[in-house]
């Protein structure tokens, strides 16, 4: 089976292709350029590098949130568009789970964090043991202070990854068991989406292009402002 995976839920953008469960091509960019400009050319390049065309892809995977509202929408829309012609199966992957999936070779607690503004982060906690990723919490929006308190009660090494590191930096400075992930594992990457999708497809956990939806966890700023305005009215 040939699978194409996309990740553009935050600043970085990436794409990856697997053939029979082996990653054969991937690309990553973190240059702060609009994803609408970079994503599709990147898809063309990874397919060409893999010796495939879009017609050869059997299933599509994408990080469906949490993350940037615009970035998540772009990724979802791209997959819907590419999968619609043949009604190909799609796999929505939690951005946070996909980040943890890349730590399969490290036995530790994994703490992906994405900047959610207002001194909050999007987060979930995972435990990796002998290559198996176990979810400890649901995806959530949580205050940096509250998350830090949780981390203090965790035994053993904790690896933090994601752009939310900057939100926690001062709060974790004196916590010796909390480690910043090495640079190659620090940011969202389509390889994590792809590894997650391989597992889910094997279990039959796919959706149609029409059923593929984002998971934002909370309202966008525009929606929050409208809600506050309606309350005042």
Q: Which of 3, 69, 84, 4 is nearest to 39 (CA)?
A: 4
Lowest mean pLDDT segment, chosen from 139-143, 145-149, 218-222: 218-222
Q: Are 137 and 58 found together in one domain?
A: no
Q: Are 84 and 67 found together in one domain?
A: yes
Lowest mean pLDDT segment, chosen from 32-36, 89-93, 125-129, 165-169: 32-36
The number of folded domains in the chain is: 2
Tokens of 168: 């926690």
CATH number at residue 55: 3.30.420.40
Note the pLDDT tens digit of each residue in 40-96. Answer: 999 999 999 999 999 999 999 999 999 999 999 999 999 999 999 999 999 999 999
Full residue range of the structural domain in which residue 212 is found: 2-95+189-229
Residue 12 CA to residue 95 CA, distance in Å, equals 12
- Per-residue pLDDT band for 127 (boundaries 50, 70, 90) equals very high
Q: Are 170 and 218 found together in one domain?
A: no
């Amino acid at each position: 089976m040939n699978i194409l995976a996309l990740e553009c839920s935050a600043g970085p953008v990436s794409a990856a292709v697997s053939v029979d469960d082996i990653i054969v091509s991937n690309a990553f960019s973190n240059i702060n350029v609009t994803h609408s400009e970079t994503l599709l050319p990147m898809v063309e390049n990874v397919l060409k590098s893999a010796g495939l065309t879009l017609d050869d892809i059997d299933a599509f995977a994408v990080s469906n949130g949490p993350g940037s509202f615009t970035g998540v929408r772009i990724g979802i829309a791209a997959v819907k568009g590419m999968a619609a012609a043949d009604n190909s199966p799609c796999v929505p992957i939690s951005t946070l789970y996909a980040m943890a999936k890349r730590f399969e070779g490290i036995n530790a607690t994994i703490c992906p964090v994405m900047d959610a503004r207002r001194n909050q982060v999007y987060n979930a906690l995972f435990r990796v043991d002998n290559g198996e990723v176990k979810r400890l919490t649901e995806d959530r929006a949580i205050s940096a202070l509250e998350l830090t308190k949780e981390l203090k009660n965790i035994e053993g090494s904790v690896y933090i990854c994601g752009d939310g590191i900057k939100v926690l930096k001062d709060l974790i400075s004196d916590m010796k068991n909390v480690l910043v992930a090495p640079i190659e594992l620090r940011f969202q990457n389509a390889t994590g989406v792809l590894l997650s999708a391989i597992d889910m497809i094997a279990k039959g956990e796919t959706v149609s292009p029409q059923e593929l939806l984002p998971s934002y966890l909370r309202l966008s700023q525009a929606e929050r402002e409208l809600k506050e305005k309606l309350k005042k009215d």
